[in-house]
């Protein structure tokens, strides 16, 4: 690449586009603890207690049950930040996706759900993705769907992930 592009070697990669990179003997670890710290500070959740789950399963979010509207710019900003964070934390993708449905007219129950996700992520500060250099090249994919689980419009929610060996790639 250095024959085609002007490049300089400045050492081992440690930070790239908000992703922290740690080079290991047997692979690479990608995480976003610095980003999480900035996120909880930005939205005033730094001193809140950590929670064990990213979404309350005992109650479902919907459009009309809460009359209290919230600032949609703040709500969209929170969702956008969490979507970026999901790059290294795929386990929050579903929760963020559920909350993202209500960006057009967010209510207090929706912003409380988003804050719960941020509190959960704050408790998993040093989590990330580990890519092993000793993995095989077998490709595997997994999917799931809830079949008309959305209470408002009866649409389905689906998701999936793909691995090369033991390394999550999508």
d(CA 125, CA 120): 9
Q: Which residues of the chain have pLDDT under 50?
A: none
Residue-level pLDDT at 130: 92
Residue-level pLDDT at 21: 93
Q: What is the pLDDT of residues 118-163, one digit of tens each?
A: 999 999 989 999 999 988 889 999 988 887 777 777 777 777 888 8
Domain boundaries, the chain: 15-134, 136-170
**Torsion angle (degrees, nearest 10) of CA 47, 52, 54, 55:** -110
CA atoms within 13 A on the CB side of 73: 0
d(CA 54, CA 63): 20
Residue-level pLDDT at 145: 81
For the whole model, what pTM was predicted?
0.81
């Amino acid at each position: 690449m250095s024959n085609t592009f002007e490049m300089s070697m400045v050492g081992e990669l440690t930070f790239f586009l908000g992703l922290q990179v740690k080079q290991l003997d047997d692979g690479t670890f990608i995480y976003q603890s610095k980003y999480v710290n900035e996120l909880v500070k930005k939205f005033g959740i730094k001193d809140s207690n950590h929670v064990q789950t990213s979404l309350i399963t005992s109650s479902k979010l919907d459009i009309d049950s809460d009359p209290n509207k919230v600032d949609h710019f703040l709500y969209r900003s929170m969702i956008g930040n969490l979507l970026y964070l999901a790059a290294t934390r795929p386990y929050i993708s579903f929760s963020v996706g559920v909350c993202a449905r209500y960006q057009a007219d967010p209510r207090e129950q929706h912003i409380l759900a988003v804050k719960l996700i941020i509190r959960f992520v704050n408790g998993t500060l040093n989590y990330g993705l580990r890519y092993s250099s000793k993995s095989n090249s077998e490709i595997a994919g997994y999917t799931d769907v809830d079949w008309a689980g959305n209470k408002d419009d009866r649409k389905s929610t689906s998701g999936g992930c793909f691995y090369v060996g033991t390394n999550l790639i999508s």
